[in-house]
Amino acid sequence: MAERGPSVQGHCDERFLAVREAFEENFRERGELGAAVAVSVGGEVVVDLWGGWADAGRGRAWERDTLVNVWSTSKGPTALCAHILADRGLLDFDAPVAAYWPEFAAAGKEKVLVRHLLSHRAGLSGPRQPHSVGQLYDWEFTTRRLAATEPWWEPGTRSGYHAFTYGFLVGEVVRRVSGLLPGAFLEREVTGPLGIDFTIGLPEKEAGRAAELVHPPAADSSEQAAAFSQLAPLALAALANPLVGAAQANTAEWRAAEIPAANGHGTARAVAQLYGIFAGRGSYGGRRVLSPEAAERVREGQGSCRDLVLGAGLDGETEIGLGLWLSGDNGSYGPNPRAFGHDGFGGSCGLADPEAEVSMGYVMNRMGPHIANDPRKMALIEALYSAL
């Protein structure tokens, strides 16, 4: 029998009723527990819906201001920090990383460029040594280890998804240039001035608003072991060193840490607003964050290829811009191949389409098993574009 939660609440312009219908269908047909979706057109929120449960026990309804960890959907706001610095002439994407972070030149990385960090081409998808969850919470330890690590492949030649390391690599450059970690920089420059309900990590005072993440249904142990045995050392380093899931992300320690690639917390409305800066060619709600040229640069493709880490779980070749994935022929972010965005582990998504002046945020707490293009997300995107 299809599962039902509380009735869907919020606002949806009549033009976009197909999005509401798809959102409701996610609860009836696709196992949704608690979720929210928001759509912004031309800098105005036209869809802002939420429903379901904020906890596994179904004792707490999902509210308008419920926050949730969005995993790698956090990479968009983290990339935004770097693009703001570049737009101000403080960061050169074609400069060696070591120009800002001298220790990074170790182990043959003296020619790795800042653009290689943004496009997952730095060859540092994961540490070569075992890296614990506790060490992941230690910014200084993790960045020192990455600075000393030898690349897994020749930097700049291929993409290999930097699941956790992306945020430390881009984030340390942001820190070296600005003096602030990405979370503080984002708050000072973007989310504070624009009133966007999104943070990297989660302040303790906001813990009462946080939804409980629920891990996807586990395969039996033999299937899981077989799946991991087929992963190359590089993929294991990127995705399982350390192995992190819902259990860790629900803890106070995870929320207190700075993990810019994976522990952003926000509402769907906030995600739509942040990605709306890209969709608005640098402006959102009448406020300019980036120049139009800088906003365009975010989707500057760095070459399509079969990703060295995620290749087996993606449909053919993909292309990453300077911080976000291009929709391309796969249609991951709608029918415009030049639209772009980022998925989060388990299903969340941020989407930007400058041609349509549209952005979307989708967040949820019941994580699905898909690496990307979760069916719930894709149903919402299809409904959105059917209404445009």
pLDDT digits (tens, 9 = 90+) for 262-309: 999 999 999 999 999 999 999 998 999 999 999 999 999 999 999 999
* C-alpha–C-alpha distance, residues 190 and 60, integer Å: 31
43 neighbors 287 (Cβ within 8 angstroms): no
Whether the CB-CB separation of 113 and 96 falls below 8 Å is answered with yes
Distance, in Å, from the CA atom of 123 to the CA atom of 159, rounded to the nearest integer, reads 8
Residue 225 placed within a domain: yes
The CATH number of whichever domain residue 338 belongs to comes to 3.40.710.10
Q: Are 10 and 64 in contact (CB under 8 A)?
A: yes
Half-sphere exposure in the Cβ direction for 169 (13 Å, CA): 35
The length of the chain is 388
Residue 39 lies in a domain: yes
Six-digit token string for 383? 């409904």
Total domains, the chain = 1
Helical ranges in the chain per DSSP H: 17-29, 75-87, 114-118, 133-136, 139-148, 165-178, 182-186, 192-194, 221-229, 233-240, 246-249, 252-256, 268-279, 292-297, 375-387
Q: Is residue 55 part of a domain?
A: yes
State the pLDDT at residue 216.
Answer: 78
Residue 132 located in a structural domain? no
**pLDDT in the model for residue 371:** 81
**3-state DSSP call for residue 40?**
strand
Of the candidate ranges 81-85, 142-146, 196-200, 326-330, the one whose mean pLDDT is the lowest: 326-330
Is 346 inside a domain boundary? Answer: yes
Residue 57 has pLDDT above 60, yes or no: yes
Provide the CA 381 distance to its chain's centre, in angstroms. 17
- For 69-122, how does the pLDDT look when each residue is reduced to its tens digit (9 = 90+)? 999 999 999 999 999 999 999 999 999 999 999 999 999 999 999 999 999 999
Active site amino acids: 72
Q: What is the pLDDT of residue 49?
A: 98
Residue 374 clears pLDDT 90, i.e. is over it: yes
Q: What is the pLDDT of residues 224-274, one digit of tens each?
A: 545 554 567 899 999 999 999 999 999 999 999 999 999 999 999 999 999
Q: For residue 126, is it within any domain?
A: no
Alpha helix locations (H) across 61-160? 75-87, 114-118, 133-136, 139-148
Q: CB 229: neighbour CB atoms within 10 A?
A: 8
For residue 278, being part of any structural domain is answered with: yes
The pLDDT assigned to 207 comes to 97
Quick one: pLDDT at residue 261? Answer: 98
Instruction: Quote the domain boundaries for residue 375.
Output: 9-79+183-387
pLDDT bin (cut points 50, 70, 90) of residue 2 is very low
Task: Write the CB contacts of 155 (distance below 8 Å, at least 6 apart in sequence).
Answer: 109, 111, 112, 113, 116, 121, 122, 123
Amino acid sitting at position 49 = L
Q: pTM above 0.85? A: yes
Residue 91 lies in a domain: no
Q: CB atoms < 10 A from the CB of 94, how many? A: 8
- Per 3-state DSSP, what percentage of the chain is helix, strand, and coil (rounded to 5)? 40, 20, 40
